[in-house]
Amino acid sequence: MNKKGQAAMEFLMTYGWAILVVLLAIGALAYFGLLNPTVPDKTTFGVPFISLDSGLYTADNTSSTIQIALKNGAGNSVTLP
């Protein structure tokens, strides 16, 4: 009986099942949308700021810019650190 062949087959079967389980897990995450995070359409800030507009802009695949337009409802100037 060929012991090396049996050991090789058991090795391939074990890792084959492990790879299959990982692929199924990744497929389930993609199916339920957990791999595609979305940016909410609404922004909320505390008083005295009012959110007028916001957007996410992607220049390339490595960087993005978030722009938020705020209105100061305090009646006086506000300095942000």
As a whole number of angstroms, the distance between CA 53 and CA 46 comes to 15
Q: What is the mean pLDDT of the chain?
A: 82
Q: Which tokens in the block code for residue 65?
A: 């810019």
- What's the longest Cα–Cα distance across the chain? 89
pLDDT in tens, 47-71: 788 888 878 777 777 778 888 888 8
**Which of the pair, 9 or 43, is modelled with greater confidence?**
9
- Interval 34-54 mean pLDDT: 76
pTM beyond 0.75, yes or no: no
The alpha-helical segments, DSSP class H, found in the chain are: 3-31
Question: Which residue type occupies 36?
Answer: N
Backbone Cα Rg of the chain: 26
